Structure 1
Amino acid sequence: MSLSPISAALDALRAGRPILVADDEHRENEGDVILSAALATPEWIAWTVRHSSGFICAPMPAEWADRLDLPPMVETNEDARGTAYTVSVDASTGVTTGISAADRARTLTVLADPDAVPTSLIRPGHILPLRAVDGGVRERSGHTEAAVELMRLAGLEPVGAIAEVVAEDGSMMRLPGLLELGERDGVPVITIEQLIAHLDETDPRPAAASEGGARRRVSLRAEAHVPTSHGSFRFRAYKDRVTGTDHIAVVSGELGDDAPLVRVHSECLTGEAFGSLKCECGPQLDAALDAIDENGGIVIYMRGHEGRGIGLINKLRAYQLQERGLDTLDANLALGLPADARDYAAAAGILADLGVDSIRLLTNNSDKVSQLRDLGLDIVEQVPLLVGVGANNHQYLATKRDRMGHIIDGAELDAALARTEAAGAATAAAAPAEPALPATTTPAQNTETPA
């Protein structure tokens, strides 16, 4: 039992047959059935359901989903892998309940029809479309992107059908099981790593193409000058074409050839709107805006990053666990969530749209630096940002330093805490004493019955 060549997989797809695709053992370490949505048949959809979870999705390019009016399923994507689900659909004609193999095959062929319009579908339904990132598997090495890449390589409409393969005991099937299933049923088995190597060999991407792909990740939707308490800035609103999330770039001054100061800031409702002392997000945003007002630069405000990408409700659940003694990292893991689920591809796209490829990054987070470098940005300097330290978040910041790779000097952290506590004590000492309340007498109770 061995892997099939990419050519055999493409031949199977052109014939309307499925293939099995395994991903990286360090990612999901699982296999998906992938077949052409345009050539879907009840027979192969039934086979897919028998050997999978039965949860069939339809990967497609973002612009294809836009044409069919398929918005993201939720405003804030809390999925650990950032899977870009849209609203579910059925074909508007030619189906009954929508769940049978024949009905799902019909819906898939409608989704892949280049002449289909939004009214060709009804919502909700039994097929889950997925938005693929523009850069394909070389930007995001998932089955969603692999399906779209494979359809294009096969000369088919760029819409696939995918489902996760499960073993007989209900667990996810790994590569040895996929090879056995493929040999038994005559289905080619490949890996995403193979696909990436094939693309690198047959379609090497120059740097300019990579930058263009980053720029296509977002689209500029609005721009205005906004006076704030920190200064007057140019606000540019972007739509993430993969997730549907809106982001803001706050720009100060003219962007020249020199690397500007840039803060990529994650949304934090509790810290920024309510002044939560459990984090330093509010003071960090204030300090970043003050810095670009003074020196010029950009603050990119990333929505959908609440709680390091796990969402507001899960963040509060994590806070509950922290009250019981867990630190910020273990609390996330105890909830079955990643320590940090944030993705910065949209930030790279915004910077590409602004014509910026070299930056001075205002952050303590070494993972953010690594991700942005992997996305093609030249980070000439990492500028630390240690503000907002207090008794309520000192341990939180120490955890980020000790367990999450944040560059925070221990002595500076302790000194910042001491300064905050000293300032609080000085403020309390300078406050005027509360005036004594005047003595009052209690009026005699009127015991007469009112007329």
Structure 2
Amino acid sequence: MSQSDTSDMPALSPIEDVIADAKLGKLFILIDDEDRENEGDLCVVGEWVTAENINFMAKYGRGLICLALPRERTDALGLGMMERRNESRHQTAFTVSIEAREGVTTGISAADRAHTIRTAIDPQRSEKDITTPGHIFPLIGRDGGTLVRAGHTEAVIDIARATGSDNPSGVICEIMKDDGEMARLNDLLPFAKEHDLKIGTIADLIAWRRMNETLVQRSVETDFASRTSGSWRMIIYVNTISDVEHIALVKGDISGDDPILVRMHALDLMSDVLDEASPFRNGRELETAMHTIEKKGRGIVVLLRESSNASLSSMVTQRVMKDAKTGDNPGHDLREYGVGAQILGDLGVSKMVLLSNSKPNVISLDGYDLEIVDWKPLNGEGQ
């Protein structure tokens, strides 16, 4: 695969056309959005996987071939996480690798891998039919799909559901060029034309889902008085999938077309409440953001809470194990902020200035009709 002139290449396909091809068992390509720097994954709905599909992915995709599964299926198979401390850039949820217990030889051939996938997604099969380690790498999709996390894992499961699959799953493989570098849109367009594949975007998939469904509902609205930053309007939102409640603090009149200050804040007990010493957070980010918005006179703070069954002991253990490690601030991956994006959409936000010292990693926000026009450092927030 080599980069070529794409001026005469067909445009990206509507997500409805991608779903139609997926329903016929065809391979398709997913990218985050129309940004020409985005990478692409070869995908196929799990129930349509064949040895030919797997061979095509291995020959032309060249990346890791993974099986995207909803959590209830990985639980049914008894699959534990590959690593308890998930420090991957995008928090991709890898389980232990798997192999079908019967019906395979070495496990690595295209036919063997297709058989393992069919075994893993078969609702009549259980953990007794799977062994580890193996040559297939399962990924756990987040409950709520792309409306919660705008990842390829969630996207291929969403598309499988859209095709009417009774046990939604998908197989994905990153696409690399001949020189081993990741293929970008300029490379993917001629590649898709050559192999008669449709390219869809996760942003379009999110927009398609948002036309018919939402994962957040307003629960309570009340006035809130801060001792340090004045009066706010507090709105409690509930995630209808997980039942976790999140908080939006609204200051002033947020209507109109002017960009509005927004702080997307993942609540952290250790730093926000216990004032933990951290190279990345100083425990004052939330207070600083509220002060900044107070001075401006208008803005929003979205406080995202962890799931209600999040283990405090696991969180503390992760902190202890990270103490001896150094690294860059992972920053804010907006791929994880789908619920927060829906909250902003419900509040009528379209353009925003994000309050953060970390440059936002923008993932598929177009699907939420949101645009980050700028980002503003928070004084005193750790770099």
User: Following TM superposition, by how much is the alpha carbon of 1:339 offset from its aligned partner in structure 2, in angstroms?
Assistant: 4.1
Percent identical across equivalent pairs?
30
Are the aligned partners of 1:90 and 1:121 in contact in 2 as well (CA < 8 Å)?
Answer: yes
Task: Name the CA distance, whole Å, in 1 between partners of 2:69 and 2:116.
Answer: 14
Cα pair distance change 1:303/1:114, threshold 3 Å: same
Q: What are the residue-to-residue correspondences of 1:323-338 with 2, within 5 Å?
A: 332=328, 338=330
Match of 2:170 in 1: 160
Task: Name the CA distance, whole Å, in 2 between partners of 1:342 and 1:305.
Answer: 21
Are the aligned partners of 2:96 and 2:133 in contact in 1 as well (CA < 8 Å)?
Answer: yes
Residue 192 (str. 1) matches residue 202 (str. 2)? yes
Task: Name the CA distance, whole Å, in 2 between partners of 1:182 and 1:215.
Answer: 37
Residue 316 (str. 1) matches residue 285 (str. 2)? no
User: Following TM superposition, by how much is the alpha carbon of 1:27 offset from its aligned partner in structure 2, in angstroms?
Assistant: 12
Are the aligned partners of 1:111 and 1:159 in contact in 2 as well (CA < 8 Å)?
Answer: no
Are the aligned partners of 2:151 and 2:335 in contact in 1 as well (CA < 8 Å)?
Answer: no
Higher relative CO (Cα under 8 Å, sequence separation at least 6) belongs to 2
Match of 1:108 in 2: 117
Are the aligned partners of 1:214 and 1:345 in contact in 2 as well (CA < 8 Å)?
Answer: no
- Letter paired with 2:330: P
Cα pair distance change 1:145/1:263, threshold 3 Å: closer
Q: What are the residue-to-residue correspondences of 1:283-294 with 2, within 5 Å?
A: none
- Letter paired with 2:177: A
Give the secondary-structure state (helix, strand or coil) at the position aligned to 1:55.
strand
Alignment partner of 1:10 out of 8, 19, 32: 19
Cα pair distance change 1:46/1:139, threshold 3 Å: same
Residue 125 (str. 1) matches residue 134 (str. 2)? yes
RMSD: 4.2
Are the aligned partners of 1:134 and 1:216 in contact in 2 as well (CA < 8 Å)?
Answer: no
- Letter paired with 1:120: D
Cα pair distance change 1:343/1:159, threshold 3 Å: closer
Are the aligned partners of 1:69 and 1:118 in contact in 2 as well (CA < 8 Å)?
Answer: yes
Cα pair distance change 1:367/1:149, threshold 3 Å: same
Cα pair distance change 1:303/1:367, threshold 3 Å: farther
User: Which is richer in helix?
Assistant: 1
Alignment partner of 1:265 out of 257, 264, 269: 269
Are the aligned partners of 1:77 and 1:304 in contact in 2 as well (CA < 8 Å)?
Answer: no
User: Following TM superposition, by how much is the alpha carbon of 1:102 offset from its aligned partner in structure 2, in angstroms?
Assistant: 0.4
Task: Please say which of residues 173-182 and 298-307 is displaced more in the overlay.
Answer: 298-307
Residue 181 (str. 1) matches residue 153 (str. 2)? no
The normalised TM-score by structure 1 is: 0.53
User: Following TM superposition, by how much is the alpha carbon of 1:177 offset from its aligned partner in structure 2, in angstroms?
Assistant: 1.6
Give the secondary-structure state (helix, strand or coil) at the position aligned to 1:316.
coil
Task: Name the CA distance, whole Å, in 2 between partners of 1:404 and 1:302.
Answer: 32
Match of 2:242 in 1: 215
User: Which is richer in strand?
Assistant: 2
Alignment partner of 2:179 out of 163, 166, 169: 169
Cα pair distance change 1:10/1:342, threshold 3 Å: closer
Give the secondary-structure state (helix, strand or coil) at the position aligned to 2:268.
strand
Cα pair distance change 1:103/1:36, threshold 3 Å: same
- Letter paired with 2:93: A
Give the secondary-structure state (helix, strand or coil) at the position aligned to 1:199.
helix
Q: What are the residue-to-residue correspondences of 1:423-434 with 2, within 5 Å?
A: none
**CA shift digits 1:68-91 (9 cap, x unpaired):** 111211111111101011111011
User: Following TM superposition, by how much is the alpha carbon of 1:137 offset from its aligned partner in structure 2, in angstroms?
Assistant: 0.9
Give the secondary-structure state (helix, strand or coil) at the position aligned to 2:64.
coil
Residue 57 (str. 1) matches residue 61 (str. 2)? no
**CA shift digits 1:68-121 (9 cap, x unpaired):** 111211111111101011111011111111111101111111122121211111
- Letter paired with 1:170: G
Give the secondary-structure state (helix, strand or coil) at the position aligned to 1:56.
strand
Cα pair distance change 1:303/1:13, threshold 3 Å: farther
- Letter paired with 1:184: E
- Letter paired with 2:171: A
